Amino acid sequence: MANFRRFRPDDLNKLSKCNLDPLTETYELSFYLQYYAKWPSLFQVAEDENGNIIGYIMGKLESSPDVYKFSEHYLPWHAHITAVTVAPEARRLGIGKLLTEQLEAAGDAGNAWFVDLFVRKTNCKAIKFYESMGYSIFRVVKEYYGDHSTDPTQDSEDAYDMRKPLKRDVKKEHIRADGEKHEVDPTDVW
């Protein structure tokens, strides 16, 4: 039912199974293409027999910009999951996990310290998904999202910044047990 391969721009015409799902954000063209241009091997898709995209992950490998070198929030060389999504019909088959593992492997190959990502605090499914793979909350970014996914009366929502240490972090220095207690502002994440 599925093939795994690298993303190619034509896939943008085949996203409906994933992107019509409300929890999957649709971006401007330049956003997708920036990832495809800079980190093509970290942009992977799962397609069905008819060429429809039924899952994808978009990620990058970087550290915080040099200007923040001395900030307490500076992030050393790490992999970041910008988007991961699986079409409703293809969920719970391990596709999300396979895509994420690929990114983790690339992170290890690139000698990154950890993988991180942001997830809406109310997106329980996704949080469970990440936890099942060994991710934990590192910090809470207050009002990171400009809208709320479940409560229309609110105009913002917190994010969890979740992390999983990679091989390089032998001493597990880049994760913490009480991440939920560490709150930061959106201006502290870049």
Ligand X SMILES: CC(C)(COP(=O)(O)OP(=O)(O)OC[C@H]1O[C@@H](n2cnc3c(N)ncnc32)[C@H](O)[C@@H]1OP(=O)(O)O)[C@@H](O)C(=O)NCCC(=O)NCCS
> Exposure string (b/e) for 37-69, b if CB count within 10 Å is 16 or more?
eebeebbbbbbbeeebbbbbbbbbbbebeeeee
Among 40, 94, 185, 190, contact with ligand X (rule: CB under 6 A): 94
How far apart (Å, rounded) are the C-alpha atoms in residues 87 and 90? 5
Cα–Cα distance measured from residue 14 to residue 96, given in angstroms and rounded to the nearest whole number: 18
**Residue 91 is a binding residue for ligand X (CB under 6 A):** yes
**Of positions 97, 142, 148, 168, contacts ligand X by CB under 6 A:** 97
Question: CB of residue 77 vs other proteins: minimum separation in angstroms?
Answer: 16
- Chain length of the chain: 190
CB 66 to ligand X: min, Å = 27
The entry of other proteins, ligand X, none near residue 132 (CB within 5 to 8 angstroms by kind) is ligand X
Contact residues toward other proteins (CB under 8 A) are 1-6, 8-10, 12-17, 19-22, 26-30, 32-34, 36-41, 46, 48-52, 88-95, 97-98, 109
**What is the Cα Rg of the chain in Å?**
16
Interface residue with ligand X among 42, 44, 59, 85 (CB under 6 A) is: 85
Pick the binder of ligand X from 58, 106, 115, 119 (CB under 6 A): 119
Q: Is the dihedral of CA 65, 69, 71, 74 positive or negative?
A: positive
